[in-house]
Amino acid sequence: MKPLTGLKVVELATVLAGPEVGRFLAELGATVVKYEPPKGDVTRGWRLANEDSTSSISAYFAAINAQKSYDVLDLKSSEGIDSLQSLLSDADVLLTNFKPEDEKVFGLTTDSLKSKFPRLIWGKISGFSSDINRPAFDVVLQAETGWISMTGQPNQLPSKLPVAMIDVIAAHQLKEAILLALLEREKHGTGSHWAVSLEEASLSALANQATNYWMNNHVAKAMGTAHPNIAPYGDLLPTKDGKWAVPAIGSHAQFQKFTELLNLSTLASDLRFRSNVDRVTNRSALIEELSKATKQWNSEELNKACGDHRIPLGIVRSLDEVLDSPQAQEVALEEEIEGRKTKRVKSFVARRL
């Protein structure tokens, strides 16, 4: 039996963040029913140009909707609002991402829900905490919270992250809140209500870049894959077979082993590279020297040699190469939805030991 078997979840949320929370709960055994408006979740139509247009779902929709049941609920009608109240009478979790004014129309207020359904856990996603009425999608938050300004190569157009990462981060925040709410309810018998905004979730994930600014007044700029605090870390090193190697050298001991492997042992004692600060300061010269050496290696040989010597390094791989690997298949989940075979990565990949 899965840990959340018997839990009933009413999912009214659309797009990605809220439905991702529902998918997580479903994977853990909860019974999740996704109630969509009459026209369906908008992501049903978010298809690739060459995707099957006759299907009722898109691959995007399938990515974050799995192991759920699907139904229609028209909350623009009085019947739909009445039906929602009935659904909540025995629900454990409610997931929404409505605008504030719509919540009131639908009868979804904290006071009302706590009075009528004291055991209910309500998790809701919003866009901006600084302006609750402002519409938002992931890329808007990537722009407004600094991610796009840091992404891409210097002196080129900035880039967005290729995954809706702000939605994913917000979903993780709400997953944690709901698990906390379930624990509290187990102890005290009452539910609780939790809100996560994409804006605050995004800000929370700035991590070391936020601290670099607040403590050192350092404003992160686009610098490709390189790390602002460590070198060589994230820098792209070319290989003989046209691939890119990405080292993650976190200590001077690792740097010494890496330079020895590349027959560049003198670099470890070079005044320009004797400490991490020196290497960050003289990064361009360092990468030039390392690149000359890595060009003599085939990518997989370099990768294996670094692994054998416990030197952190990876090879830049295409997405098809990654997703066709045995490791990716281990975290894949297949399911037929409305007559279409679907496949996505699992939401929950922790393994019980």
Q: Are residues 336 and 312 in the same domain?
A: no
Q: Are residues 48 and 190 in the same domain?
A: yes
| Residue 215 is assigned to a structural domain of this protein | no
| Residue 219 is assigned to a structural domain of this protein | no
Q: Are residues 291 and 335 in the same domain?
A: no
Q: Are residues 76 and 192 in the same domain?
A: yes
DSSP 171-202: HHHHHHHHHHHHHHHHHHS---EEEEEHHHHH
| Residue 51 is assigned to a structural domain of this protein | yes
Across the range 229-236, mean pLDDT stands at: 97
| Chain segment 41-94, per-residue pLDDT in tens | 999 999 999 999 999 999 999 999 999 999 999 999 999 999 999 999 999 999
- Residue 247, domain CATH: 3.30.1540.10
Q: Are residues 279 and 167 in the same domain?
A: no
Query: Catalytic annotation on 71?
Result: no
Q: What is the pLDDT of residue 231?
A: 97
Q: What is the pLDDT of residue 195?
A: 98
DSSP 84-147: HHHHHTT-SEEEE---HHHHHHTT--HHHHHHH-TT-EEEEEES-SS-TTS---HHHHHHHTTH
Q: Are residues 173 and 305 in the same domain?
A: no
| Residue 56 is assigned to a structural domain of this protein | yes
Q: Are residues 177 and 284 in the same domain?
A: no
| Residue 109 is assigned to a structural domain of this protein | yes
Q: How confident is the model at residue 118 (pLDDT cuts 50, 70, 90)?
A: very high
Closest C-alpha among 78, 81, 62 to residue 16: 62
Q: What is the pLDDT of residue 178?
A: 98
- Residue 25, domain CATH: 3.40.50.10540
| Residue 217 is assigned to a structural domain of this protein | no
Q: Are residues 114 and 89 in the same domain?
A: yes
Q: What is the pLDDT of residue 1?
A: 81
Of 41, 92, 138, 167, the catalytic one is 167
Q: Which strand (E) or helix (H) includes residue 301?
A: helix 299-308
- Other CB atoms within a 10 A radius of the CB of residue 146 amount to 18
| Residue 84 is assigned to a structural domain of this protein | yes
Q: Write down the pTM of the prediction.
A: 0.92
Q: Are residues 85 and 193 in the same domain?
A: yes
| Residue 209 is assigned to a structural domain of this protein | no
| Chain segment 284-308, per-residue pLDDT in tens | 999 999 999 999 999 999 999 999 9
- Other CB atoms within a 10 A radius of the CB of residue 16 amount to 27
Q: Are residues 241 and 182 in the same domain?
A: no
Number of domains in the chain: 2
Q: Are residues 169 and 295 in the same domain?
A: no
Express as a percent the part of the chain with pLDDT over 90: 98
Q: Are residues 281 and 338 in the same domain?
A: no
Domain that residue 299 falls in:
237-316
Token pair 């829900």 is found at: 113
